[in-house]
Structure 1
Amino acid sequence: MEMKASGGPVSCPCRPSCEGPTADCDRTLSTPQRVFKGQGNAQEVVAALPLFDGILPEVLNRLLADSATISRRRSTLLFGAGDEADCFYIVLDGAVKLFALTQDGRESIVEIFGPGTSFAEAAMLSTGRFPLHAEVIEDATLIRVGRRAFLYTLHSDHALAYRMLAALVKWNRRLAGEISDLKELTPWQRVAEFLLAQTPATEGRVEVLLPFNKEVLASRVGIRRESLSRVLGRLRVLGVHTSGNAIRIDDVNLLRRACFEAANGRGA
């Protein structure tokens, strides 16, 4: 399937293809109906993104006319801070981390994106430069959304532009709130809240499989790797037990109540 945009023919974003042979690309997708780990096919994943909520399929096709589906291996750097933001990404499977480097060279993870999420839209639409680094942390299949057709479509449809701007503002508010929460919570609360966010259960025993290793988890919640072991040890009294990347919570409600009481000054 081919689409037309200003400047000639371009690929449909949901047609699996690779941008070209690269050292870090090891998979060639064979069908646009490939299922991505329970997320549905690529078209369904894209249409479900909050950024594209309520947008008609034909408009979505115009927005994504300069897009391609790519595969990248773990540890591949997608872009560095300061690079030109000529695209943004949609994650079909795998995981990608956005991170900054501290003055002493340590990574500080800002966000981790898994299947059914998108990132770097704000950089492409505003400053034109990526403010952070992005690295694949689990082998990933991504849609790389090019800037040309996307911006052309927004410039020609102001109502669409306002709608997408509102979606971006909502995401930025959520991120700002999360950063604020991290500053106020103690290390054990940060870890506990993260674990609770990994399960929809509200009571009883649950098993949680971390979507990434503990080093990434530590950076994600804003603590040092060596501190994470102490925090997990402290959480054992609240029924949290670890084995590799597997976490068992004996009583979800107990852990949730402990977090609530600590946040309201009634717990340690």
Structure 2
Amino acid sequence: MTKEKALEIFTSKFMGSSDCKITATVKNITKLVTLENKTTLFNENEKADYFYYIVDGNIKLSRFSPDGKEIVIRIVHNNEIFAEATLYGRNTYPVNASSINKTYLLAVNIEGFKELCVKNHEFVLKLFVTMSHQLRYFVDMVNDLTSADTTARLLKYLCNLKEKKGSSTITLPISKRDLAMLLGAAPETISRIFAKLQNDEFISFNGKHITILKDITEYSPN
């Protein structure tokens, strides 16, 4: 992955433009970051100079409880940004960030991006759209954790993966342990639900590779 290719993906998929002028402008305030599997990008309360766009790969955002238990806040995928909260006055990162697999990121300098926003309202509008999607995600997550059971949360997660990939065959981007933390469940509970879904012939799976055989939104455990 080259920086030029990463910039091309960022401007076309995230900014919705392939304008050479925009690409040239963004180039001056960005750098390409490559992370190997399970590598820390930043820790909570570290000084924040950049927010990030995922060109390819997956990032886990987490915090630790007072007793040292890791709590997964969000899994960030391709064509998504994270640490954007630092654009609004916070000068430290509110969470820990680490790669789940080999990941390519475009690091966007915060102060440089703010200057661009003053000159180009297109950047501001795109950021507002992204923030609204992020807010909807967190509202849905809180609602699911407080009102839905673990099976319903897992089914929704699988449906979202299917929708993003546009295929009934998907690959879990995270381990079942991390998935359990994300869904607020024990790993053994997630394993039991996967086994039941397979026994009921709604899915088939081999490791992280899952094929959805039926409309799992209609699934009702006996």
Shorter-chain TM-score bucket reads 0.7 to 0.9
Counterpart amino acid of residue 167 in structure 1: V
In structure 2, the partner of 1:133 is 96
| Structure possessing the higher relative contact order (Cα contacts under 8 Å, 6 or more residues apart) | 2
Inter-partner Cα distance in structure 2 for 1:120 and 1:207: 30
Q: How far apart are 1:138 and its partner, in Å?
A: 0.4
Which of the residues 198, 206, 216 maps onto 1:236?
Answer: 198
TM-score (norm 1): 0.70
Q: Return closer, same or farther for 1:165/1:118 CA change in 2, 3 Å cut-off.
A: closer
Tell me, in whole angstroms, the C-alpha distance in 2 between the residues paired with 1:54 and 1:67. 17
The residue type equivalent to 1:45 in the other structure is I
Q: Is the 8 A contact 1:62 1:149 kept in 2?
A: no
Match of 1:108, SS state, is strand
Indicate if the aligned counterparts of 2:171 and 2:208 stay in contact, CA closer than 8 A: yes
What is the aligned partner in structure 1 of residue 135 from structure 2? 173
Match of 1:147 among 110, 114, 137: 110
Deviation per CA, 1:88-111, whole angstroms, max 9, x where unpaired? 111122211111212332222222
Structure 1 gaps of 5+ residues are: 1-13, 17-31, 33-40
Cα distance in 2 between the residues matched to 1:139 and 1:194: 22
Match of 1:58 in 2: 21
- Identity across matched positions, percent: 20
- Residue 28 of structure 1 is matched in structure 2 by none
C-alpha contact (below 8 Å) 1:188/1:232 kept by paired residues: no
Q: How many residues align?
A: 218
TM-score by length of 2: 0.83
Secondary structure, counterpart of 1:179 in structure 2 = helix
Counterpart in 2 of 1:223? Answer: 185
RMSD: 2.8
Equivalent in 213, 217, 222 of residue 256 of structure 1? 217
Matched letter for residue 217 of structure 2 = R
Question: Residue 235 of structure 1 aligns to which amino acid in structure 2?
Answer: L
Q: Give the conservation status (yes or no) of the 8 Å contact 1:64–1:150.
A: no
159, 164, 172: which is aligned to 1:210? 172
Q: Matches of 1:164 and 1:127 in 2, distance apart?
A: 20
Higher helix share: 2
**Is the partner of 1:81 in helix, strand or coil?**
coil
Provide Cα deviations, 1:51-105, integer angstroms capped at 9, x if missing partner.
Answer: x346954245334422111211112111111111110111122211111212332
The aligned amino acid for 1:236 is Q
Distance between the aligned counterparts of 2:10 and 2:123, measured in 1? 17
